[in-house]
Amino acid sequence: MGEVQVILKKEDIRPDFLKGKIVVVFDVLFATSTMTAAIADGASSVIPVFSPDQAKKEAEKLNDSFILAGEDKGQRIEGFHPPLRTNLKEIIKNKHLILSTTNGTIALHKSRNASFLYASSLLNNPAMAEYLAEQHREENIVLVCSGSSGRYTMEDFYGAGSLIYFMQKFREWKLSDASVTALHFYSGSGEAKSLLNNCRIGRYLVKEGLNPEEIDFVAQEGLFDSILMYDHKSGQIKGG
């Protein structure tokens, strides 16, 4: 029986520990949610990078078939599109989304030692849960919450709990203490929309001018069936 473990923030990632593991990364507000929507909207791939400079280097390889999007500490990077579904939906089809964010893309970069690396969100957690049960039923799964600048974030922990909830519907998994806690937190927290709007990051982003409808969108569980898998050779995340 495979075990499910939870890492609370990207600063707790130990790359050697992830060797041989199946890893799923969460950044609900907003990196992995934006990735999920982009793939569903027809993006060729998502290329997660750890800095704006790396984003520009990746862009040099792709001619005109890319979109640059990103934020730094919640503020749009100059010359980049805002990394939100509303801003990308109409322009992303058949393009590579090169994405640089404060937390989520860095968490993915730090998790590359995993045997299989995925990105998930509330938008695709039910499909992700079914896929894990089918493809990795006897393997150990590590859910990585990106957190924010060294701090735990409630929305990522909720996202991890959501995935565990749906995973348990398909088969029984052994759960670590942190996984059990995430599951109980998810089950007892009420609707996602309220939690995401009232968590620390949600309140901060709205105060900085974010339209609350962006949060309401990513709070929709199971809107998409996309499975986002990282390709170690290309550095791209593609949908399945």
Encode pLDDT of 154-182 as tens digits: 999 999 999 999 999 999 999 999 999 99
pLDDT of residue 32: 98
Burial 16-38 (b: 16+ CB within 10 A, else e): eebeebbbbbbbbbbbbbbbbbb
CA Rg, the chain, in Å? 16
**Type of residue at 147:** G
Mean pLDDT, rounded, for 188-196? 97
Kindly report the CATH class assigned to 3-239: alpha beta
Helical spans, DSSP H, in the chain: 31-40, 52-60, 85-88, 104-110, 125-135, 154-170, 177-187, 192-198, 200-207, 212-218
3-state secondary structure of 223: coil
Pairing mode, strands 22-26 and 236-239: unpaired
User: What are the residue boundaries of the structural domains of the chain, listed by start?
Assistant: 3-239
Cα–Cα distance, 58 to 98 (Å, whole number): 8
Encode pLDDT of 137-161 as tens digits: 999 999 999 999 899 999 999 999 9
Helix, strand, coil percentages for the chain (3-state, nearest 5): 40, 20, 35
**Cβ-based burial of 78 (10 A; exposed 0-12, middle 13-18, buried ≥19):** exposed
Task: Count CB-CB contacts under 10 A for residue 238.
Answer: 16
Q: Higher model confidence: residue 66 or residue 73? A: 66
Pairing mode, strands 75-76 and 22-26: unpaired
- What contacts 178, CB < 8 A, 6 or more positions away? 5, 6, 8
Encode pLDDT of 72-108 as tens digits: 988 899 999 999 999 999 999 999 999 999 999 999 9
